[in-house]
Every structure is written in C-alpha cells, then in structure tokens.
Structure 1
C-alpha cells in the first residue's frame, strides 16, 4: 500500500518513520506541499493520501484524487470538518481519522492558556528578561472556588473538566448530547453556563450548529470579566464579535490556540511576510489576549498515538479488515 503524506513537518516524519517498520507492506512518501487543487494530481499512483486539519479537502480536490485513483483519505487528526464527505461518498473514497490521540494533551494546553492569559505569565517573562521586575499589569484572579463552564463534553472536554475540578472549581457543562455517567460536572443550559461561568472553555466539534457559537449575542450573556479559552476550532468564535467584546472590556482574559484565519498559514513561519488580513494582529494587540499556533495536540504522547492510529487505519484498509475510525 502506497501513501502520500501532504504537508509533512519534521516531527511527522520522525514519529511515522519510527513506527513504520512494524507495518510491512505500507510505503510512505513525505512531501512538504499541502494538498489543494494544484497538488492533488501528485497523488497519482498512490492508494491513499494522508492530510492534516489545515488541508483543503473540498469537492474539487476530492474529485481530482478520485481521478488519480486514490481510495482512502487518512486524517492524522480528530477533526474532519474540512473534508467534503458528500463528495468522498460519491467518489467511493473512504475517510479515516484519529478520534482520540490524547485528550489530556489538548486539555492541559487549554488550562495552560487560561493560566497564562489570567496571570500574564507571557508578559512577566518578557519583563524579567529586560530586568523589569515591577508587577504593574500582571494582576490575575484566583481560579479556586470559581465556576468553570465546559462547552462540549467529549474526551477533551471531560479531561478539562477534571483539571478544573482539581483546581477547586465548580464545573458546569453544556452539550447537545449530555453524558449522564459523568459525576464530576453538572449539565446546565447554554444560557446558564454563559451567565454564571468565570472561565469558559470550548471543546465542541465544528458543525453548522456550532459555527460562530460565540457571537455578539452569546458574549452579551456572559459575566463581565469572564475568561474565554478556545483550543477546539477557530470557527466556533465570530472573531469580529470577540474583538468588539474585548474592546468593551467584557473579558478579563482570552486564550486562543485556534482562530478563524489560521488555515492559510498555520504551522508556517510567516515572520518575514505581510499577512493578507489584520485580524490576528488586532487580537495580538490586546494586552489580555494570549495566542498560540494550534499546538494543543503537540506532545510526544499525542504524536505517537496519531502515528500509531493512522498506520492502524491504513493497515485495516490494506487487509480488508473492519475500520473502526471511519468517518461517515
């Protein structure tokens, strides 16, 4: 079985090549280019392609992959909102993902963002490097005995809820499909969560129902001085409305690992480039906003699990076995 890996970074090659000897019969070619209409034709002669969360897998790309004989799309991530599933079904291309590579990795990063944004540790580090040991501008709030609102209680949301509980917080949650077996949180309506939470952390998938879940109306329902964290999908937040809320002093702090405009240059060094839009620069201009580059998944354990599950998905396809992680 031959697989073409798009948008390969050094860490992808490292973790997949480490495990590849355990999967005889699978051959991988790594390329740096990401997949889009112009590069889809490179998949000629390959049984499968492997892509990440920032790949363009819309209808034109999938149709080109079909013309090149590709039968399987391997997503080395949990999300698949960037895949046109109607077109893959029409073309007879199967799609497999990595549903749970390391919930704790993302949840721990969510809490790291919340703490950093709250206690201004990113600013304190820079000040200390410049021999400035004054505390002005660094005041935070306690999380202890505050209320954490978790939107989305899948594996990552559950992990975040447990972390918040460990901080001595009251944990409430909202989910369209509540899990009644969770005894470490209390389900409430979305309106109650928004109006009573001191910390709101987003952990729901990107769907038509959740797109721009955080907008001017939902922001208005939040407590003044709320802390908002997003490590899920950038499209959950309507960025212009978030910026308006920050300007209106609605938020004590905001921590973002994902944002709407990231897809064009996520994981790329753009330090010498002029970005086509100013949204990210506007967010970074606020003193109470902390941003990272979609790195919530980026731990040794998570990358190992991603490589292992992706190769298991490929092996099951190659062997004609049941594929547990198919996307329908």
Structure 2
C-alpha cells in the first residue's frame, strides 16, 4: 500500500512499515498531485483535506489525522466518497494539560504569587480540559468548568457559563474545538467585550485554536491592561502570528502544547490501530519500546516540595522558557513557525520521571499529577 504521511508525524515510518511503504511530505504544502495513487493519507492539523486535495485521487482507502480537532477535514466529502476517517481524540490531552499547568506555575513565579491562591476557569471540559483540571485538582487548586456541550450531554460535573467564569476566576484556560455553529460557537468566543471583562491581574491561556480569541481585540485590550498575563500557544492566522501582539504575550509558543513525545507516539499508534480495523488485520501494540529513557529518569525527594521545588521538577521534564525564547527569536523568519514545530522533539510528560520519596511526608498528589513512582 502507498501511504502518504506528514513528515512531522513521529515514528510513522516504524509504526506503519508492516502495512505499506511510507512517503513523507510537507503537510502544509501537500498537493493533489502528490496524493495521486495513494491508498492511505495520514495528516495533522496543518493539512486541509478537501475536494481540492483529493482531486486526482480515486484510490484512498483511509484518511487519518493524528489530532484531536477535525476542523481541517471535510468529513462530509470523505463520507460521500466512502473513505473511512479516524482522528486521535485524547492522544495529546495529557501533554496539553501538563503544558497549561506548567505555564501557570511559570506565571506564578514571574508574578511572585502562588497558583494555589487562584481560581482557574477551564473553558472546554473534554479530553484536554479534563487533564488540565486533573493537574490542578491534584495540586489543590480550585477549578470551575464551562462546557455547554458536555452539560447538554448529561455530564454530571458542575458547569458554569463562560461569563460566570470571567467574573469569578483569576485564570481562564481555553480548551475548546473551533466551531462556527452549534450550542455556543467558539470562533471569537473571547471577543473584545469578554476580554475587557477579565478580572484585574487575570491570566489568560489559549492552548486550543487561535481564532477562539479575537487577536486584534486582544492586542487592543492588552495595550490598555498591563495587568493581564497571557499564554498563547495558538495564534490567529497561523503560521503567521500577529507580530505586534507577540511582544505583549508573557509566554509564547508555536502551537506545541500537545507536542510531547508520548502524545505524538500515542496519536500515530491510534491511527495504526484504526487502519488495522479498516483493513481487518490484527492491530499490534506499537507504543511500547518507541520512547527513549529520559535523561532524568529517577529523582529522590528528601522533603515535601513547595511550589518553587515543584516548578523545578517540572522544568526537568519540560522547560517552557526554552520554547518561549526560541519562538520569539524565530517566529518572524520565513518558515520559522513551522520549523519550530518540526524540530520540536525534546518534550516529555511527567510520567517519564520517577520520584522516590524519603520518610516522614506524603507525595501521593505527585502521583495524581502524573509523575511515576511518587508513592514509593
């Protein structure tokens, strides 16, 4: 089988070698001509799978996207053509949750405050939002949820409206899909009015889609509100962020919140399992053995870590400041945004680090946070 895959999909050649020959392509520049004769197409969010892309192909048997979101996929077209489609919901949820949690710890350090003293509003309580909540609740931070879709589906958790969160929360963290219809469209969900209504000294994080925030409105509000702290991993107009907005953002990264090695490998192997089902072959567990041992694989704790020590532990796994520096130095260069994403191969999840504790204190909360071995 001829498999066309995004070159930034890690482990794709190893994982799919048993099914067919894998050809790697630039996902953002993939053309209809390149797709001609392909049996399988494996993409990420930068590839628009639409009639134009499929114009010269009549052989596709499967399309897979190693992403949570599907706004780049013309699902109706694929259904009309009888082409099975699968995405990878939840593959990078842990990574996004940990990114948001680490970013909040970094903001607390920047501002000389404590994350535990803040109330965090999580907008979007699906896979990624739930992982953010898990991290915060493990650390003892009060969280409030907003998700009209989950609430309407009968989810038993307590939900609040977005405006209630804006009025009562010190931190707003966004984890919604990009939609223009439905119960509550998320395109420009945070417009100028809502941005202006954020509490004094509020923190705003966006780790979902850039257009969930009106970036021009954000620029205007931020110019008037130096008290607001911003973490943007996603940007309106990617891969070309609004250049005048970037200097006003406190932590800026190139859409890599979900880019842990674990999350990437998870997404690739989920697509392998889905394709195996379509082809009616026995799926294999491909995840074991793919990931390297982390350079810091085991740390002994002699005392209960305070917030500063917790941030140091997190930085051993992922130092968010490095990506912020690289972003600011390279995002405006030709192809810089995509190169930062392509070359992002160092990020790990908390589970890569095993913690061993001394006697006389409890660290079960670190296990709940995601670190390995914390109860030993």
TM-score in same-fold range (> 0.5): yes
Partner in structure 2 of residue 210 of structure 1: 186
- Is the aligned partner of 1:153 residue 2:125? yes
Partner in structure 2 of residue 56 of structure 1: 48
Partner in structure 1 of residue 32 of structure 2: 40
Task: Give 3-state SS (helix, strand or coil) of 1:31's partner.
Answer: strand
Runs of 5+ consecutive residues of structure 1 not aligned to the other structure: 121-138, 266-276, 322-328
* Residue 296 to residue 309, structure 1, CA distance change in 2 (3 Å): same
Pick one of 25, 28, 43 that aligns with 2:21: 28
For 2:3 and 2:14, locate their aligned partners in 1 and report how far apart those are by CA, in whole Å. Answer: 16
Partner in structure 2 of residue 281 of structure 1: 243
- Does the CA contact (< 8 Å) of 1:205 and 1:233 recur in 2? yes
- Is the aligned partner of 1:110 residue 2:100? yes
* Residue 92 to residue 320, structure 1, CA distance change in 2 (3 Å): farther
- Does the CA contact (< 8 Å) of 1:284 and 1:290 recur in 2? no
Q: How does 1:154-173 map to 2 (within 5 A)?
A: 154-173=126-145
* Residue 169 to residue 285, structure 1, CA distance change in 2 (3 Å): same
- Is the aligned partner of 1:303 residue 2:264? yes
Structure with bigger RCO (C-alpha 8 Å, 6+ apart): 1
Pick one of 12, 15, 19 that aligns with 1:16: 12
Partner in structure 2 of residue 222 of structure 1: 198
**TM-score for both structures, normalised by structure 1:** 0.77
For 2:245 and 2:220, locate their aligned partners in 1 and report how far apart those are by CA, in whole Å. Answer: 11
- Does the CA contact (< 8 Å) of 1:211 and 1:235 recur in 2? yes
- Is the aligned partner of 1:317 residue 2:313? no
Q: CA deviation at 1:202?
A: 0.6
Partner in structure 2 of residue 136 of structure 1: none
**TM-score for both structures, normalised by structure 2:** 0.68
Q: Deviations over 1:48-97 (max 9, x none)?
A: 211111112233224x15x4422321111111101122322333333210
Runs of 5+ consecutive residues of structure 2 not aligned to the other structure: 283-376
Partner in structure 2 of residue 98 of structure 1: 88
